[in-house]
Amino acid sequence: MSDARLVTLVPDALDLPPESRDAFLDRACRLPTGEMDAALRAEAVSLIRAAEAALSEGDLASPVAGLVSGVASEEHLAAEAPPETVGPWRVMGLLGEGGQGVVYRAVRADGAFEREVALKLLRPGARADARLAARLAEERRVLGRLEHEGIARLYDGGVADDGRPYLAMELVRGEPLTSHADSARLGVRERVGLLAEVCDAVAYAHQRLVVHRDLKPSNVLVTDAGRPKLLDFGVAKLLGDEPDAALTVPGWMTPAYAAPEQIQGGEITTATDVYALGVLAYELLAGRRPYETAGLTPVEAERVIANTAPPRASDAATEAGHPERARALRGDLDTLLATALAKEPARRYDSAAAFAADLRRHLGGLPVEARQPTVGYRLGRFVRRHRVGVIGTAAALLAMVGIAGVALARVSAERDRAETEAANAVAAQDFVFEMLAAPRSEEQGRDVRVADLLDDASVVLDSTLGDQPSVLVEARSRLANTYRSLGLYEESARENQRCIEAASRAFGPESDDALTCRLNLGSTYRLLGDFARADSLITSVVAVLRARYGDDAPELVFAYNALSALRNDQDDPEAALEAAERLLAIDRRRAQTDPGALADVASSLNEVAVGLSSLGRMDEAAERLEEGIAIREAAGDTVGVSFASDLRNLGSIYGRMERVEDAERTLRRAVQIGEMAVGPDHPRVAGLYAMLGQLLTHHGDLAEAESLIRESLRIRETALGPDHVAMAYSWEFLALALHAQNRTAETREAAREARRLYALHFGEDHQWVADVDTLLTGP
Amino acid sequence: MSTVVSLLSRAREGDADAFSEVVGRLYEELRQVARSQRRRLSASETINTTAVVHEAYARLEGGAGPPVFNDRAHFFRVAAAAMRGVIVDYARRQTRAKRGGRDRAVPLDAIGPVEDVGAIDLVQALSLDAALGGLAEVDAETARIVELRYFGGLTIEETAEALALSPATVTRRWTFARGWLHRALADDEAGSA
């Protein structure tokens, strides 16, 4: 009964004295015919009674007031009742609560990830706003690439339903560094060894432009195996960048471990972490901290840390009741610690790596370099001059640079030049690091594109490193690979070309360095779809290396890898498989003595599987991939691009074996991991979208299929251009998805594009052109 | 960042996420305003909710920039609708958390004073939200009055202004709504009992 007349009838009646209401209703509730509208009258009576009951209960208070109080105390509520789930994670229990927020034990709700993680639900900093999610995603990508056994991995991060950011991190069981050292009764040498390992982990992150900012004993756990592991890398930055946040947000930073520049609101740099490492080392070795700040106000603590020199560590040890340690500290270690703890960032160790090296020199009885200008840091002077400020975009970039240059290091590892190469790698990395980290003054405050930074680096390389050819080659190679990681293939090709020139000039055109650059150029051309050039470069390198080292030498892994990928793209599966099998054999042999090569075995299994599947040998292909995936899962390598790519291939093979459910499950997992690893706008993810879309076209939701495929088109067109061969796959998939929906005109439009590109890349008489033609001419 | 106005026009065109974003933004404003007021207060003082709501509305309306709504009535309607979203969302989460019934992880005295959150009748808020659709079928304007008064926290006068009605009309419709909702909620209880 919903008669609009009731809206006035009811309040009118209520305005009357109760005894007059019946007569009023009798008059008012009439049908158009004049008869009594009994239904309306009954409804009115019922509503009048209800309104009287409601009014007798008093005002209907708005919940807004309660909401505001509730919101104000929400953080407390969160601690009181853990959420059941946060993002894709199911909360299993509470681990602890700290200044940054609450930490829970959690597992993936969908079982896509077997291990338990430490799920940190952060208190939003003052900068929590609508852009938080985007900023967090950006940081997560950077931090997620920190893969080092001394650093707790970041698996995931995002914004929970209630707007609080969360991070899912490797769950580390261990004891804080200082208490472990005491309970295990470690001697000074063992403590120094542990510190060097901590420095290694920090140095690794610094090379990827991630500064910890909050190093302290509770963030360095020692595992049961006795290895140190750093927690919360870069997390402090997520909580806000305000320079004075140190003093206003309790728990964000621990003043006792904070560097003078950190307390005074100066620039946070890698030198800030070096300082904190110094405090950590001081406390671990001397048994007390360099400054006693307990009981001081923030302002007093600041004054002490900024203006007074700490006592010598050996004196502090004596005072703390460790005379035997004092003896061991006197001399070198005193100097080392004083260097790390210098007030001015420029007077400290240039890097955590330099600190580690000095600690090890001390252990090895070699002269330490503290106070002397250190070797290999001619480039480091740049860093000091500019004081490395970490730019988000640059950090994202450097994370990729880490992958680069591996080729050079690996090829040369078998020869005696390994040491020189490692030094070159450090110097080259410092250079790129410096270029990216130094903000360009004219553009300060603007979002400098990563590619622009790289372009700058490329321009000044010759003039800066002209006299150090090995460093120059290494740096060019890194730049080239970085461009490639960013999907900037043209630039990568240009840089590889310059790399070849530099290497040929310095070491000869047939030198290993020149060959590696040629190989990289070939692979870049392959990605650009220029198979003719790729072929000539890659096959010539393979031929030279085979003649030089033999058919199955470890030096050939990269060459076979490139060759196999090329043959696949050229649609020559027999040749692709042959190269992949050679690669696999080499890697299996290497893995017998070097467990670190297992990841390479997984990669080559993938290559072999791709070849097998192209030949229709699906069962074998699936077996290889399942083996590779098992290897990666056993190693915990389940968040990277390689894992996503294995899953993609396995999903595709399942699809072709008509194991539809397995295929969909596997591809969705691949998409998820791919998005996490490289971000949703990367061409690699486009491939995953296209593939999942193709599967759904045949076996699932056509609307989702179409939207996935269109997304792949958009990403590919932006990243690769409209004529790239990958665009053909997306167009063809789109045509099929549209065809399945009987949208004939659109189907033909998409199919025409696919046909044009297939003909362009493979020739008019290729089978794929004919395949697409059936869509153009069919009903 | 999209403006509230552009979000709303997208919402009208059927973009469901756009309105949720307005709701999300209002919620975020409320949190920030409430938290900053909470920080300024001593433990024994209670929060001035009216001031918080008005400041949050003002921030949603345009923050430091020029006002984005050219008429106040329009803004009140939007704010109340968004506030309804916030309240329902909040009430759902709170009732879920209560159902979860986990042990307290941290003793309350360790984390400072807690506001009395019993002030919000979660069940009532959720029931009213659900019943409002039925009321709108009888009379859409009356349903809007409930949204403005109950969910938006507006006074009779503000509600009248927002809907271009006389305060007397708003009062009469409000009375009708009280009766209608009271019966709907009672039926609901009887139905589920």
Q: What are the per-10-residue average pLDDT scores of chain A (779 residues)?
A: 80 89 89 87 92 84 75 51 82 68 82 83 54 67 83 83 80 85 88 94 84 84 90 67 33 62 75 92 92 62 76 88 87 88 83 90 77 30 27 32 31 36 48 44 37 65 68 78 72 90 89 90 90 94 92 88 88 90 92 82 87 88 93 79 82 87 91 76 80 86 92 85 83 92 92 90 79 78
Residues of B in contact with A69 (CB under 8 A): 34, 46-47, 49, 115-117, 119-120
Q: Is A27 on the interface with B (CB under 8 A)?
A: no
Amino acid identity at B171: T
Asked if B47's CB is within 8 angstroms of A70's CB, the reply is no
Nearest by CB to B114, from A66, A76, A84: name it. Answer: A76
B22, B29, B35, B166, best to mutate vs chain A, most A CBs in 10 Å? B35
Cα separation, A672 vs A504, whole angstroms: 43
User: Angle, to 10 degrees, between the axis of helix A641-656 and the axis of helix A660-678?
Assistant: 160
Residues of A in contact with B2 (CB under 8 A): none
Asked if B46's CB is within 8 angstroms of A7's CB, the reply is no
In this prediction, residue A236 carries a pLDDT of 64
Name the nearest CA neighbour of A612 among A656, A643, A647, A644. A656
Q: Is A96 on the interface with B (CB under 8 A)?
A: no
In this prediction, residue A456 carries a pLDDT of 65
Q: Which run of H or E residues covers position A117?
A: strand A117-122
Q: Is A294 on the interface with B (CB under 8 A)?
A: no
Largest CA distance in chain A: 114
Distance of residue B104 Cα from the nearest chain A Cα, in angstroms: 5
* pTM score, whole prediction: 0.37
Nearest by CB to A69, from B91, B96, B115: name it. Answer: B115
Q: Are A125 and A240 in contact (CB under 8 A)?
A: yes
Q: Quick one: closest CA in A to B22, which residue?
A: A130
In this prediction, residue A250 carries a pLDDT of 30
For B50-53, the CB contacts below 8 A with 24+ separation are B50/A65, B50/B153, B52/A68, B53/A64, B53/A68, B53/B83, B53/B153
A71, A85, A164, A248, best to mutate vs chain B, most B CBs in 10 Å? A71
Higher pLDDT, B71 or A642: A642
Asked if B138's CB is within 8 angstroms of A70's CB, the reply is no
Name the nearest CA neighbour of A144 among A412, A405, A395, A434. A395
Phi, psi of B118 (to 5 degrees): -65, -10
Residues of A in contact with B124 (CB under 8 A): 63
Residues 6+ apart with CB under 8 A from A572: none
Cα separation, A136 vs A669, whole angstroms: 22
Residues of A in contact with B137 (CB under 8 A): 2
Residues of B in contact with A42 (CB under 8 A): none
A64, A135, A162, best to mutate vs chain B, most B CBs in 10 Å? A64
Which of helix, strand or coil describes residue A334? helix
Residues 6+ apart with CB under 8 A from B192: none
Q: Which run of H or E residues covers position A453?
A: helix A450-465
In this prediction, residue B48 carries a pLDDT of 67
Q: Quick one: closest CA in B to A131, which residue?
A: B1
In this prediction, residue B94 carries a pLDDT of 66
Cα separation, A405 vs A479, whole angstroms: 9
Nearest by CB to B49, from A3, A64, A162: name it. Answer: A64
| CB-based burial, A198-221: b 16+ in 10 Å, e otherwise | bbbbbbbbbbbbbbbbbbbbebbb
Cα separation, A393 vs A736, whole angstroms: 38
- Choose the catalytic residue: A214, A334, A430, A646: A214
Residues of A in contact with B25 (CB under 8 A): 130
Name the nearest CA neighbour of A67 among B14, B119, B3. B119
Nearest by CB to A47, from B108, B111, B183: name it. Answer: B183
Q: Which run of H or E residues covers position A159?
A: strand A154-159
The DSSP letter of residue A677 is H
Tell whether the torsion through CA atoms of A409, A410, A413 and A415 is positive or negative: negative
Distance of residue B30 Cα from the nearest chain A Cα, in angstroms: 7
Asked if B34's CB is within 8 angstroms of A10's CB, the reply is no
Q: Is the pLDDT of residue B170 over 90?
A: yes
Average pLDDT, chain B: 70
Record the tokens describing residue A627, joined without a space. Answer: 């083996």
The DSSP letter of residue B101 is -
In this prediction, residue A774 carries a pLDDT of 86
Asked if A47's CB is within 8 angstroms of B180's CB, the reply is yes
Q: Quick one: closest CA in B to A65, which residue?
A: B49
Name the nearest CA neighbour of A376 among A275, A468, A283, A439. A468
Burial class, A301, CB count within 10 angstroms (exposed 0-12 / middle 13-18 / buried 19+): buried
Q: Is A99 on the interface with B (CB under 8 A)?
A: no
Q: Are A571 and A762 in contact (CB under 8 A)?
A: yes
For residues B109, B110, B116 and B118, what is the CA-based torsion angle, rounded to 10 degrees? Answer: -90
Q: Which of 160-179 (A) contact B at CB < 8 A?
A: 161-163
Q: Is A46 on the interface with B (CB under 8 A)?
A: yes
Asked if A163's CB is within 8 angstroms of B27's CB, the reply is yes
The DSSP letter of residue B150 is I
Asked if A130's CB is within 8 angstroms of B47's CB, the reply is no
Per-residue pLDDT tens for B45-55?
556 666 777 77
Interface A:B, Cβ pairs < 8 A: 174
Q: Is A4 on the interface with B (CB under 8 A)?
A: yes
Q: Are A29 and A44 in contact (CB under 8 A)?
A: yes
Name the nearest CA neighbour of A246 among A268, A231, A262. A262
In this prediction, residue B105 carries a pLDDT of 29
Nearest by CB to A69, from B47, B50, B105: name it. Answer: B47
B176, B181, B189, best to mutate vs chain A, most A CBs in 10 Å? B176
In the block, residue with structure tokens 């490692």: A422
Q: Which of 652-671 (A) contact B at CB < 8 A?
A: none
The verdict on whether A214 is a catalytic residue reads: yes
Asked if B115's CB is within 8 angstroms of A72's CB, the reply is yes
Asked if B153's CB is within 8 angstroms of A62's CB, the reply is yes
Residues of A in contact with B27 (CB under 8 A): 71, 163
Q: Quick one: closest CA in A to B80, which residue?
A: A64
Q: Are A748 and A708 in contact (CB under 8 A)?
A: no
Record the tokens describing residue A201, joined without a space. Answer: 């982990």
B17, B20, B49, B83, best to mutate vs chain A, most A CBs in 10 Å? B49
Q: Which run of H or E residues covers position A574?
A: helix A573-593
